[in-house]
Amino acid sequence: MVRLLNIKKLGFLAVCLVCLCGCKENIDTSARYVFSDETILSYLEKHAAYSEYVDILRHVNISKLSDSKVSQLLSARGVYTVFAPNNEAIHKYLENLVEEGLIAEPSWDAFTSEHKRDSIRQVIVFNSIIDSGNELNAYFYTTDFPEKSGDEFTLGTLNDKKLSVKYVDKAPDSIYINGDCPLSIKERDILNINGIIHQMEKVIAPKDITAASYIQECLDEKKGDFLACFRVIQACGLLDTLSKVRDDKYEELYQAGLIPDLVGMQVVYGFAEGDIGYAPRHRLYGFTIFAEPDEFWRNQGIDPKDPNLLKKLTQWILDNHQYSDDDKFTTDENYTSENNLLYQWITYHILPMRIPKGKLVFHINEYGYNLSKPSTYSIPVYEFYTTMGKRRLFKLMESKASNGVYINRFPITDNGRKGTGEEIGCDPDKVGSLVDSDSPIAILNDMVNCIVYPIDAPISYDDKTRDNLQKNRIRFDGMSLFPEAMNNDFRLKKASEERYKHVYIPNTVRTYNYLENMQQNREMNFVYYNAWNDDWCNLHRDEMKAVGRFEVMFKLPPVPRRGTYEVRYKVLANSKRGVAQVYFGTDPEKLPVAGIPLDLTMDCRNDITARLVGWEKDTGDDDYDAEVDKKMRNNGYMKGPKSINSNDGTERDYNDRENIRHIFVRQTLDPNETYYIKLKSVLDEERKEFYMDFIEYCAKEIYDNPETPEDIW
């Protein structure tokens, strides 16, 4: 694809230096930069093609809480990307409103309601501007647009919506925003002192269509590529759930200023990395549906439009044993019951979070991966989630060899002590189902709260899947427990500005229960640390942390089979951490103590601690090093996994003295039970941190296997 070169940015930086040197004594230290050239607003004002857009900018308030206009915003210092519709685009948009019956003629004077007119103006403006905040040069040249069609921009618009990009293979200069809004080929990458302008030939005005509305429309008109899936969803009574977009109560509290940011993190609470934790602006809901396309069902001899589709699908599930022998279910026509086979089957296809293409799995600091070559993968990376309906485990995985993201793939890896960790093969019955995110039938941007990915093979929580899951170590990132993190776009956001780096989770007791799967006491403050540009040796780099006399409890994912498991808690230790008593069990009101208190400060840089733990650096002698690992395990510890790497020049890997896994539970776990973990500070300290990176389940068949010892990855 032919795009403009980044040499423009270099030229712009040179101008910056000249200007800064020439007016040093007049610089406002609060400014991002000072220039005498055009602002975005002044540029738009001087070009007649944008006169309609400029007029609209002068009518739209920055927010409900401000009387300032967006035109003022674009005349001030900042880092903005503006997708500015020309006059013709705005006129065409008004003509579309005439066709929809909203107005009688394509004119702003045709609105019978001032409220409707203001709403339409806001739609045009808020969907056309991305504010990159304080990140210097973080505006989006066309060279900085998302790499693949269907991918979303890192940052949202003023409307808090993510725009997507579409490229046309046979027209390399053609770029569309949100599917059908063409970017001008000539008028793009127009650099100004406070950002960049791209002229749009069509107004960006995404409709807030919910999954429920979209699915119902497809069913009513008998259109689309997922009629069979959608008919099952409707029959199972899931449309009400799929209509949820946002938590209106949280919205009211936030707008009223009753969900405050956490100020003074460094001074008051002892956080080293930042001073303000920013509360999320919204509490949104979302969903991801992984669906067998209608073409698959036709190949199975089932017509998606067949009046008896539901009965035929139920019979197909039975005939193909798409369930576990341990499952209890009914096969009658009461499809809305959670005990119904069809209900259990379809809910295994749905996750309670909207996962965009770039976040199905995360490539960031796994062994052998380099962020400077983001498309060159190495070892398998994976995510474990809990599905809707009956709580069941769902695995997403991608590796160098897989050529895509797969559901429930279980490859053979080079997992020896001196291995590469990479996938070296995959048995045919363990390949899993490809998530075809690049398919033209994938529904990526049409719904405000949902994405539908076609899959190339059927999925179910059958015995084969459950057995394979149990035979694999189940390592889940702490943030995977919380759908809200993905739905509200703060988990591993590729931005280092402070408002995205430290996300303050409102306190359960004092303000609002933001994370459904977490409960906390009044005395603590909980922050998600998005360490995107920090080279921490955590899984995915990020971490969860809290300070004070913390008491925090999480609901954990289910195990796949009944059996004996170890439950392990990984710590990247330092002196700022606290000491926590762990509680683990099924009754959140009466959790029993699990082991001795967890010392989050304990690392093996201290020789006394190293001897206590049994830690020794690998020598290269596999037998001796395995004995060291065994000694550590006997003491209730393990080294951190070799799969997590660091590129900061230090030995941040399996031999990292700060990187320790604590084995705090070894007991029988049941897949039909819900387990909770609670961590309670045992110190009378206000400034000691709670810390969480990942937890892992490991079945006895893995950790106590005499023939194939557990790998170090």
Three-state DSSP state, 161: coil
Looking at the chain, the domain(s) classified CATH 2.30.180.10 span: 7-200, 209-244+285-472
Q: Take residue 251 and report the two structure tokens written for it.
A: 């919205």
The candidate with the shortest Cα–Cα distance to 422, out of 441, 399, 438, is: 399
What local confidence, expressed as pLDDT, does residue 653 receive?
A: 66
| Burial class for 264, CB neighbours closer than 10 Å (0-12, 13-18, 19+) | exposed
**Residue in the block written with tokens 């409102």:** 506
**Distances from the Cα of 584 to the Cα of 352, 546, 663, angstroms:** 25, 19, 12
Separation between Cα atoms, residue 575 and residue 497, nearest integer Å? 26
Q: Which two tokens stand for residue 543?
A: 């971490």
- How many Å apart are CA 81 and CA 162, to the nearest integer? 13
Contacts of 552 (CB under 8 A, 6+ apart): 518, 519, 520, 521, 524, 526, 546, 678, 679, 680, 690
Instruction: Tell me how far apart the alpha carbons of residues 523 and 540 are, in angstroms, rounded to a whole number.
Output: 28
Q: What confidence score (pLDDT) does residue 11 get? A: 38
- In the chain (713 residues long), the average pLDDT of successive 10-residue segments reads 35 33 32 59 97 97 88 94 98 96 95 95 97 85 91 92 90 91 96 96 94 98 97 98 97 92 86 86 97 98 98 98 97 97 98 95 93 92 97 98 97 96 97 96 95 98 98 96 96 87 92 94 92 86 90 97 97 89 97 94 90 93 95 95 73 78 96 97 88 96 94 96
| Domain 476-703, CATH | 2.60.120
Distance CA(421)–CA(438), nearest Å, equals 27
Residues 6 or more apart whose Cβ sits within 8 Å of residue 182: 174, 175, 176, 200, 201, 202
Question: Quick check: helix, strand or coil at residue 572?
Answer: strand
Determine the Cα–Cα distance for residues 196 and 130; give it in Å rounded to an integer: 10
d(CA 226, CA 632) in angstroms, rounded, equals 52
Q: Where are the domain boundaries for CATH 2.60.120 in the chain?
A: 476-703
Residue 25 phi, psi (nearest 5): -70, -15
Which is the CATH superfamily of the domain at 7-200?
FAS1 domain (2.30.180.10)
Q: Which stretch of DSSP H or E encloses residue 131?
A: strand 129-131
Cite the beta strand spans of 513-654 per DSSP E: 518-520, 525-529, 543-547, 551-555, 563-572, 579-585, 598-599, 637-639
pLDDT in the model for residue 378: 96
Q: What is the DSSP letter of 280?
A: P
Q: Which CATH superfamily does the domain covering 209-244+285-472 fall into?
A: FAS1 domain (2.30.180.10)
Q: What is the pLDDT of residue 125?
A: 98
Distance of alpha carbon 585 from alpha carbon 582, whole angstroms: 10
Q: How many helices (H) and strands (E) does the chain have?
A: 18, 32
- The pLDDT score that the predictor gives to residue 29 is 29
Query: Which residue, among 137, 53, 47, 134, has the nearest Cα to 90 in the 3D structure?
Result: 53
Task: Return the closest-CA partner of residue 224 out of 440, 438, 456.
Answer: 440
Instruction: Give CA–CA dist 545/520, Å, rounded.
Output: 12
Cα distance between residue 263 and residue 322, in whole Å: 52
- What does the block give as tokens for 395? 């695995």
Rounded to 5 degrees, φ, ψ at 69 are -95, 155
Calpha distance 391→585 (Å, rounded):
16
Element (H, E) at 192: strand 190-192
In 3-state terms, the chain is what percent helix, strand and coil (to 5)? 25, 20, 55
pLDDT at position 221:
96
Integer Cα distance of 465 and 429 in angstroms: 10
Residues 6 or more apart whose CB falls under 8 angstroms from that of 524 comprise 507, 546, 547, 548, 549, 550, 551, 552, 690
pTM above 0.75, yes or no: yes
Residue pair 580/593 in contact (Cβ under 8 Å)? The answer is no
